[in-house]
C-alpha cells in the first residue's frame, strides 16, 4: 500500500513536468515545490524501481532526458535532440549566447597594454555584442631619474620621467638652502644714502639694510666766470668742497640805466596825462639821489636810510623844494612792469598822480641779477 502511494506521487509529478515547457521550467518545479522536496528521497527510490521495471520513466518522458533529485537540491543535466546550449569563458569573461534569430560573426581588435592600463583582445559583432579575452597586465612605468639640487630659494627634488609614456612626477624633496650673505658698508655721499650691502655667496642676490642719510653738498661762494654785457648774459658757478660738483647760473644782460630811467619818466607822464596833470620834469640832482637810494635799498628795503634818517630830509634841504615823495621797488625786469606795479598800489599811485609835484628823478641799480628801482618826487 505504501509502495503504491509513493508511485502515485511520482507519476503525478512526472505528468505535471510534461505540461511545463523548457528545461528552465522543469528546474523551477523540482527546485522550488515543497511537495516534491518532502518526498525527494522516496521519489528517488521509485525512479530507480520504475527504470528497472519499465526501462523508461512512468511519465512517458523522452529517453534522451534524465533527471535526478537528492536531498531537496536540484542538480540537473539536460540534453535535447533539437539543439544544445553551452557556456564558454576565458580569463573570467563570458562570450554572449547566440540567439536563434542571429548568428554572431566576431571581428578581433588587439589593444596593447600601456603603463597604466591592461591590454586585451576585443571580439565584437556588427550587432553590438562584444567580449574580451587574452588580458595582459599593464606594463608599469619605466622611470629615468634626474636629481635637481636645492638652491637658496627653491627646494631640491628627484624628478622621475617614464621612458615609455613621458609621465613625470617629483619626489624625495630637500629643503632650500637659504641665502648665505656677506656684508659690505657703502658710505653716504653728498646726494646718496649710505647702507650695508648684503650679497649672497651662492647665488649673487643682493639686498640693502642699515641706511644712513646723504651728507648734502657743502657749497662755496658764487664765482663769476663770465661777465654780463649789454648784449650777452654772464655766468656764475659754485663748487662743493666735499664731492667737487659744480652748479652754475646765468647773469642777465646788463641794462642801459639811462634808457631805463628815461622810459620810467615817460611812462609816468603818460599816466599823469590821463588825469589832466602836467608832466614832470626830469631833474639831474634828484636822479643822482635816486640812484644812490637804489643802492641803499639792496640791503635795507625801506623808506629809511642806512644812518636811520628819512630819505626825504635831503630832498627838502634843496633850494626851492617845498614838498617831496619817494617810491621804491625791486625785482621787476622792465620799466613797464615797475610803473604798472606802482600804479596798482594806492600809496605809490598817489605820489605819481600828485599835482603838487613838478620834478622827478629816477634811479635803477642791478645787484645779483635783481633790479632795484627808486622814484624821487619834488615840487
Tens digits of residue pLDDT in 116-163: 999 999 999 999 999 999 999 999 999 999 999 999 999 999 999 999
Torsion sign, CA atoms 342, 343, 345, 347: positive
CA-to-CA distance for 333 and 364, rounded, in angstroms? 11
Tens digits of residue pLDDT in 230-251: 667 889 999 999 999 999 998 7
Cell 540567439 belongs to 99
Beta bridge partners of 278: none
Strands lying side by side in the sheet with 106-111: 106-111, 119-125, 130-136
Considering only CA atoms, give the Rg of the chain.
65
Residue 376 — φ and ψ, nearest 5°?
Answer: -115, 120
pLDDT at 255: 66
Let me know: does 375 contact 293? Beta carbons within 8 Å: no
pLDDT at 81: 36
pLDDT at 90: 41
Element (H, E) at 263: helix 257-274
**What confidence category does residue 329 fall into, taking pLDDT thresholds of 50, 70 and 90?**
very high
Cell of 352: 605819481
* Mean pLDDT (whole number) for 95-111: 80
Question: Between the CA of residue 90 and those of 99, 121, 129, 131, what are the distances in Å?
Answer: 20, 11, 16, 10
User: Which of the 8 DSSP states describes residue 372?
Assistant: E
pLDDT above 60: residue 53: no
CA-to-CA distance for 25 and 30, rounded, in angstroms? 9
Let me know: does 50 contact 58? Beta carbons within 8 Å: yes
CA-to-CA distance for 72 and 39, rounded, in angstroms? 9
Residues 6+ apart with CB under 8 A from 90: 133, 134
**What confidence category does residue 259 fall into, taking pLDDT thresholds of 50, 70 and 90?**
confident
pLDDT at 63: 38
Question: Between the CA of residue 39 and those of 48, 69, 79, 182, what are the distances in Å?
Answer: 14, 10, 25, 102
CA-to-CA distance for 122 and 243, rounded, in angstroms? 89
pLDDT at 343: 97
CB atoms within 10 A of CB 371: 22
pLDDT above 80: residue 14: no
CA-to-CA distance for 139 and 235, rounded, in angstroms? 89
CA-to-CA distance for 31 and 74, rounded, in angstroms? 5
* Ramachandran region, residue 216 (left: φ > 0; alpha: ψ -120 to 50; beta: rest): left
pLDDT above 60: residue 92: no
CA-to-CA distance for 329 and 315, rounded, in angstroms? 19
pLDDT above 50: residue 277: yes
pTM, to two decimals: 0.38
Amino acid at each position: 500500500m505504501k509502495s503504491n502511494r509513493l508511485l502515485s506521487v511520482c507519476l503525478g509529478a512526472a505528468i505535471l513536468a510534461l505540461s511545463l515547457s523548457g528545461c528552465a521550467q522543469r528546474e523551477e518545479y523540482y527546485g522550488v515545490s515543497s511537495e516534491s522536496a518532502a518526498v525527494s528521497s522516496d521519489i528517488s527510490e521509485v525512479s530507480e524501481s520504475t527504470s528497472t521495471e519499465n526501462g523508461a520513466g512512468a511519465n512517458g518522458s523522452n529517453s534522451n532526458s534524465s533527471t535526478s533529485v537528492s536531498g531537496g537540491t536540484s542538480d540537473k543535466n539536460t540534453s535535447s535532440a533539437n539543439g544544445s546550449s553551452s557556456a564558454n569563458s576565458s580569463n573570467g569573461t563570458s562570450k554572449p549566447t547566440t540567439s536563434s534569430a542571429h548568428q554572431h560573426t566576431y571581428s578581433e581588435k588587439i589593444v596593447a597594454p600601456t603603463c597604466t592600463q591592461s591590454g586585451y583582445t576585443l571580439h565584437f559583432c556588427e550587432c553590438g555584442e562584444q567580449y574580451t579575452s587574452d588580458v595582459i597586465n599593464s606594463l608599469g612605468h619605466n622611470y629615468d631619474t634626474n636629481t635637481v639640487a636645492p638652491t637658496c630659494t627653491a627646494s631640491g627634488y628627484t624628478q622621475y620621467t617614464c621612458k615609455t609614456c613621458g609621465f613625470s612626477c617629483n619626489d624625495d624633496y630637500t629643503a632650500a638652502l637659504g641665502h648665505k650673505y656677506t656684508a659690505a658698508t657703502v658710505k653716504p655721499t653728498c646726494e646718496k644714502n649710505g647702507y650695508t650691502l648684503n650679497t649672497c655667496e651662492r647665488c649673487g642676490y643682493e639686498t640693502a639694510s642699515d641706511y644712513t642719510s646723504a651728507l648734502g653738498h657743502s657749497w662755496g661762494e658764487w664765482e663769476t666766470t663770465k661777465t654780463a654785457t649789454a648784449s650777452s648774459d654772464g655766468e656764475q658757478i659754485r663748487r662743493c668742497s666735499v664731492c667737487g660738483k659744480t652748479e652754475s647760473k646765468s647773469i642777465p644782460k646788463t641794462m642801459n640805466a639811462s634808457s631805463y630811467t628815461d622810459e620810467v619818466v615817460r611812462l609816468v607822464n603818460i599816466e599823469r596825462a590821463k588825469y589832466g596833470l602836467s608832466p614832470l620834469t626830469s631833474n639831474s640832482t634828484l636822479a643822482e639821489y635816486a640812484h644812490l637810494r637804489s643802492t641803499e635799498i639792496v640791503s635795507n628795503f625801506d623808506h629809511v636810510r642806512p644812518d636811520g634818517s628819512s630819505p626825504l630830509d635831503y630832498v627838502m634841504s634843496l633850494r626851492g623844494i617845498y614838498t617831496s615823495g619817494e617810491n621804491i621797488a625791486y625785482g621787476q625786469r622792465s620799466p613797464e612792469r615797475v610803473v604798472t606795479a606802482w600804479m596798482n598800489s594806492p600809496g605809490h599811485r598817489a605820489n605819481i598822480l600828485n599835482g603838487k609835484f613838478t620834478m622827478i628823478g629816477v634811479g635803477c641799480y642791478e645787484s645779483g641779477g635783481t633790479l632795484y628801482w627808486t622814484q624821487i618826487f619834488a615840487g
